[in-house]
Chain A
């Protein structure tokens, strides 16, 4: 057990260190900074002295910043970037062989990679959201408390799902980008129930439900499900992805390409 602990800790810390100091981390600062700058400019155009003004601003902030910039863009991008490179980086670089021939259970390699990846996804998302809400003034402070749960669980669900893709396919980044474009963007915005195949549907549903008292309304073609239902689906996606990724890595053969 102690041996396993040493090995697993080494795997998590090495993966975290590599991801933290990677180009991905640096590149992700730019979209987050762009959103912050947008909010900074936008704030001046919406006075927030009166309660009605705050509610009106919150409604707009939710629609534009929380739903379109965070739920539909930044959260999946951050999750895709880190989620596919934790385990997927080793697959693409061909270094997974060094891990698979060590005396640690294969499933624990998947879990270790996820344990290093998920905190980065969550911390990056939450930190960017916190900074944005701070810059948005009183409406932002209300939005911070209200919409953190859907964004948090959305980041977790996306992170775990992209990690599963990394366990399943050799080039997970490409597949994840295709998935994000077709399933999340295209299907996620189609009328009807087909959009329920996308993770973003449940994040947006949850946000709309929370935002109802402030007049945040979904488009007429978007029929949100209950907040509890959204939470259950996002947690289930995360849990199922984790379990499936452990099972896949435990069972799957990985044949590295010849140099």
Chain B
């Protein structure tokens, strides 16, 4: 067996003040981050710059300014790519080739002997649950199967850094669950997994870190908890239910933390700023008021709300 990638905690991807222009258009604007081992989710809308990050990290393109490093080496270099597994978002294959042959070829292109490539390819096919379907030509595969083969070729040579660009696109719900388990497993093995998606809700449970890109800028970085904490002082929409809505609304409208109040059936919708301070005052009020506060429901504290908020920033 050839030497495999080293597995230690120093393994990481570094973006250091990276800017990338496409002609006059800026694709990425002074982005800096470091990826530790484990799963990091790269989150952003279409056109936010996710694919640019992936292309830079996989050494397909070079930064206009700044530097991108994989395991201490320039991401453009051949040495860095020996430790890289890349699952591109483009759905292109050697269509006439059986899935098994394709994965084997990709392993062999990493410098493994035919025998080693056979072994590693089978291992990868087993991990994506494609062993019994890999004999068919790729053109006969469903979207989900093609996605699995792309994943298999990315992880077959056991790379230390895995870049997965929209790896769940086209995969059925059952398959998604299996693949999410696989990603978590890869992170637990100490590999550095960067997973790009525009559906954060699906992958938030396995994210050790989340990077949020908006219009080429990195606008948030950290765990989801940290990002939510940061958002604490940002406008937040809450739904309150009390046995008397109008006195509650009257009370709230005078608070400096409250931006707007709207009575909607049994609920009072309140948009607040400085949510921490608001919660404290609300607790106080609930204890003293003659009416009863039955329910408090934040309507946009989920991961999608983080994104929505960040996307609306001026």
Residues in B whose Cβ lies below 8 Å from that of A101: 58-60, 81, 84, 86, 88
Question: How many B residues have CB within 8 A of the partner chain?
Answer: 34
Residues in B whose Cβ lies below 8 Å from that of A98: 88, 106, 109, 153
Most buried by A among B92, B114, B153: B92
Contact of B92 among A3, A18, A95 (CB under 8 A): A95
Assembly CA distance A209 to B93 (angstroms)? 48
Which residues of B are in contact with A by a Cβ distance under 8 Å? 2, 51, 55, 58-62, 78-79, 81-84, 86, 88-94, 96, 105-106, 108-114, 117, 153
Question: How many A residues have CB within 8 A of the partner chain?
Answer: 30
User: Contact between A102 and B92 (Cβ–Cβ < 8 Å)?
Assistant: no
Residues in B whose Cβ lies below 8 Å from that of A18: 94, 96
Q: How far is the CB of A110 from chain B (nearest CB, A)?
A: 14
User: Contact between A3 and B2 (Cβ–Cβ < 8 Å)?
Assistant: yes
User: Contact between A102 and B81 (Cβ–Cβ < 8 Å)?
Assistant: yes
User: Contact between A103 and B90 (Cβ–Cβ < 8 Å)?
Assistant: no
| Segment touching B, from A69-77, A143-151, A250-258 | A250-258
Contacts of A102-121 to chain B: CB distance below 8 A: 102-106
A3-B2, A256-B88 known; A99 vs B60 contact (CB < 8 Å): no
Assembly CA distance A254 to B108 (angstroms)? 22
User: Contact between B61 and A94 (Cβ–Cβ < 8 Å)?
Assistant: no
Q: Which residue of A lies closest to B92 (CB)?
A: A94
Contacts of A1-36 to chain B: CB distance below 8 A: 2-4, 6-7, 10-11, 14, 18, 21
User: Contact between B110 and A259 (Cβ–Cβ < 8 Å)?
Assistant: no
Contact of B105 among A10, A104, A105 (CB under 8 A): A10
User: Contact between A100 and B89 (Cβ–Cβ < 8 Å)?
Assistant: no
Q: Does A50 contact B (CB under 8 A)?
A: no
Assembly CA distance A253 to B61 (angstroms)? 5
Residues in A whose Cβ lies below 8 Å from that of B94: 18, 93, 95
User: Contact between B84 and A10 (Cβ–Cβ < 8 Å)?
Assistant: no
User: Contact between A259 and B91 (Cβ–Cβ < 8 Å)?
Assistant: yes
Q: How far is the CB of B163 from chain A (nearest CB, A)?
A: 8
